[in-house]
Structure formats: C-alpha cells, structure tokens
C-alpha cells in the first residue's frame, strides 16, 4: 500500500502520507499536530511532499499545517465550505488548549470531483458534508481516506458548529457506502476498516 500512518496529538489524529512509489511525491493528509513526528517519517521514506490535504477544518486535523507548509513550501487544500471554521472562536480556543498554531488559509479550495495529482497516482475528492459543511473524503484505487465522516464502528459527531446529522447520513449512504465493498477505509481516528465491514457491523448505518 502506498501510504504510511503517523498518529499525532492528544486526540490521536491519524495523519497519512499518501505517496507515489515511482516519484516519491506525497500528500500529507490531516497533519493535526506534532510536526516533529511527521518530519522524520517523510525523511525516512525519502518522500517529497507536494500538497497538504485537510479532510475538514477542525484544528485536530489542521494543527501542523503551518509547520509542514513552512518546511516544504507546499500548498494547503481544504473545501471552501469549511473556511469559516478556521476563524470560529471555539476552534481557535480549542487550538490554544492543544498548543496548535492557527493554520494559514488554504491555497487551493477543493470541490467535489476534483482530481489531485500525486506523481503518477492521484486522489479524487468526494464531498461528504455532515461532520462539518466542508468535510471531504479522498479516494484512490480501493483506498478511502474518510476523515471524520466514517470510523470503524462509528461515524462523525455532528454537535459541533456546522454539523448536520441529516447531511452526514445522506453523505454516508450516497457517497461513501457506494464505494466497492473491498475498499479499505482509513479514518481520521482509530483503526482502519472496510466498506463491507461497516455495512455489516456499524450500528449507525442500519
């Protein structure tokens, strides 16, 4: 598999390095905190970051954006609908509690269906509002980076600003569970799973 996981921050956010084996170009997905843990892995794997991808705008997924951007001079990408979260007071206060530096505004605004080129491979953007208005998943050849939309045995919370249970369930049923059953799901927190396993066992999807 052409990805590596590093778990960062007090909320144990899953940060992923998705890379092209041929060119070693990579996307840094959800660098939520502790850039000092992410840098050595990038070096060890001889990777070349080309973009920072945020599945949504919550601080536990964006907290190391600034350090990654400054080190590698790469753009940050986020869905436009989550721009207000970057300046939302609760998020800023929570970020201070976590010791996170505010993220710069994104250089690229993502939209549903966008293709993000990473060397000779790439990722497709799937807009999945619910956990936040601009939540997205990233899909590539049987792998789904699901952010906080779908977890192993759970789904994203919707009680934070901009959250919508109705939108989340609609996104799951029409955008996520339509992926092939064998799709490997790599969530924003917790263990990996598959679409088939979640259809069978996730109590929120009954």
- How, if at all, do strands 143-147 and 150-151 pair? unpaired
What phi and psi values does residue 3 have, to the nearest 5 degrees?
-150, 160
DSSP string for residues in 35-100: HHHHHHHHHHTT-EEEEEE-SS--HHHHTTHHHHHHHH---EEEEGGGGGGGG-HHHHHHHHHHTP
**pLDDT tops 70 at residue 20:** yes
Q: Are 170 and 164 in contact (CB under 8 A)?
A: no
84-116 confidence digits (pLDDT tens): 988 775 666 666 666 677 899 999 999 999 999
Which range, of 23-32, 91-100, 143-152, averages the lowest pLDDT?
91-100
| Spans of all domains in the chain | 3-205
pLDDT of 1 reads: 67
pLDDT of 101 reads: 77
- Please state the rounded mean pLDDT for residues 53-71: 96
pLDDT of 29 reads: 99
pLDDT of 97 reads: 67
Tell me the pLDDT band of 151, cut-offs 50, 70 and 90: very high
Q: Are 17 and 26 in contact (CB under 8 A)?
A: yes
Question: How many angstroms separate the first and last alpha carbons of the chain?
Answer: 30
**Rounded CA gap, 39 and 45, in Å?**
10
- 3-205 maps to CATH 3.40.50.1220: no
H or E element, residue 4: strand 3-8
**pLDDT tops 90 at residue 71:** yes
pLDDT of 89 reads: 58
Q: Using alpha carbons, select from 97, 86, 75 the residue that is nearest to residue 132.
A: 86
Tell me the pLDDT band of 117, cut-offs 50, 70 and 90: very high
pLDDT of 100 reads: 72
- For the chain, the average pLDDT equals 94
What phi and psi values does residue 158 have, to the nearest 5 degrees?
-125, 15
Tell me the pLDDT band of 206, cut-offs 50, 70 and 90: confident
pLDDT of 73 reads: 98
Q: Using alpha carbons, select from 110, 36, 118, 100 the residue that is nearest to residue 76.
A: 110
Query: In a 10 Å sphere around its CB, with 0-12 CB exposed, 13-18 middle and 19+ buried, how is residue 101 labelled?
Result: middle
- Please state the rounded mean pLDDT for residues 129-146: 97
**pLDDT tops 90 at residue 55:** yes
């Amino acid at each position: 598999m052409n990805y590596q996981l590093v778990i960062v921050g007090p909320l144990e956010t899953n940060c992923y390095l998705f890379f092209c084996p041929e060119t070693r170009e990579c996307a840094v997905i959800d660098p939520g905190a502790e850039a000092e843990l992410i840098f050595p892995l990038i070096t060890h794997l001889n990777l070349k970051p080309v973009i920072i991808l945020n599945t949504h705008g919550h601080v536990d997924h964006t907290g190391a954006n600034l350090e990654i951007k400054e080190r590698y001079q790469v753009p940050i990408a986020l869905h436009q609908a989550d721009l207000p979260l970057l300046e939302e007071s609760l998020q800023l206060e929570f970020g201070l509690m976590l010791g996170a530096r505010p993220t710069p505004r994104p250089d690229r605004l993502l939209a549903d269906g966008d293709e993000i080129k990473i060397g000779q491979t790439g990722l497709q953007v799937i807009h999945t509002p619910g956990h936040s208005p601009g939540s997205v998943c990233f899909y590539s050849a049987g792998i789904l980076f699901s952010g906080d939309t779908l977890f192993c045995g759970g789904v994203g919370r919707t009680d934070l600003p901009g959250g919508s249970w109705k939108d989340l369930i609609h996104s799951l049923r029409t955008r996520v569970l339509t992926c092939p059953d064998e799709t490997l799901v790599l969530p924003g927190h917790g263990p990996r799973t598959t679409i088939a396993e979640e259809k069978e066992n996730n109590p929120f999807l009954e």
